Amino acid sequence: MSFETSCNNGTAPEYHNLMKLDFSKMKFVYIHQLWMEICDYFFEGILGNAVWGTKPKYTADLLNPSVALRSFKRTKMSIKMVEPLLLFPVCYRSPQHIRLKLNALTVSNHFTREQMKKMEGDFTDWMQWFNKCNIDFRGLVVQSWDERKLNDGLNAAGEPPSLSLNIQWPVGPTASLVKPKWNVDGRVDPILFCLSRKDYSLFLFFLY
């Protein structure tokens, strides 16, 4: 893990901080409540607003986007996991679960700017920053709790299917002025599932 702070004080750099996380082969168990607490502690208790940008206290300057953006800092991240194994249990102590084996999982982001049009009231035209996050699941193999393979098929590269998510949202003090907030684009290779009755019931449990 590394966290670097840029000394670049130039005009509107893409990012001010760079965070890198590299994981070796590991196993992760997803329990919704526990992971929400871990994420909340990591982003709020350790890094605070530094990941998505410093959020200043409300002042009259926030009515002037050009002034508000001067204190806005951006953090770029790069997360890489080699052959992670993700387990999704039915409940905390349940032996029934779905296993997702991946060749690699990567999460990265970059920032872009876009000129926004004038709005009603005291606002004028302003430059809005957007955080664009990309999540790639490469070489996806789905298994049941007894390690039976539940999916089949290869992509054009002769590898197991891959999944890619691209998520964009506005950041900074003026983010609330942008509607709609979220822009999500996904791409998944064709996947053929071979499910028994109990496997199908387990899938329905997670979907509903």
pLDDT value at residue 5: 81
Strand 2-5 relative to strand 126-138: parallel, antiparallel, unpaired? unpaired
* Among 90, 91, 77, CA closest to 22: 77
Residue with tokens 């496997």: 199
Cα–Cα distance, 185 to 168 (Å, whole number):
9
Query: Which 3 state secondary structure label does DSSP give 192?
Result: strand
Inter-residue contact 73 to 94 (CB < 8 Å):
no
Contacts (Cβ under 8 Å, ≥6 apart) of 159? 103, 138, 139
Q: What is the pTM of this model?
A: 0.74
Least confident stretch, 20-24, 69-73, 136-140, 146-150? 69-73
Residue 206 has φ and ψ, to the nearest 5°, of -75, -30
Tokens (6 digits) for 47? 């890094």
DSSP 43: I
Confidence of residue 75 (pLDDT cuts 50, 70, 90): confident
Cα–Cα distance, 207 to 27 (Å, whole number):
23
Adjacent-strand bridge partners of 2 = 20
pLDDT value at residue 120: 59
What is the overall mean pLDDT for the chain? 79
**Strongest mean pLDDT among 60-64, 87-91, 105-109, 122-126:** 105-109
Instruction: Answer whether residue 35 shows pLDDT above 60.
Output: yes
Q: What is the CA radius of gyration of the chain?
A: 21
Confidence of residue 197 (pLDDT cuts 50, 70, 90): confident
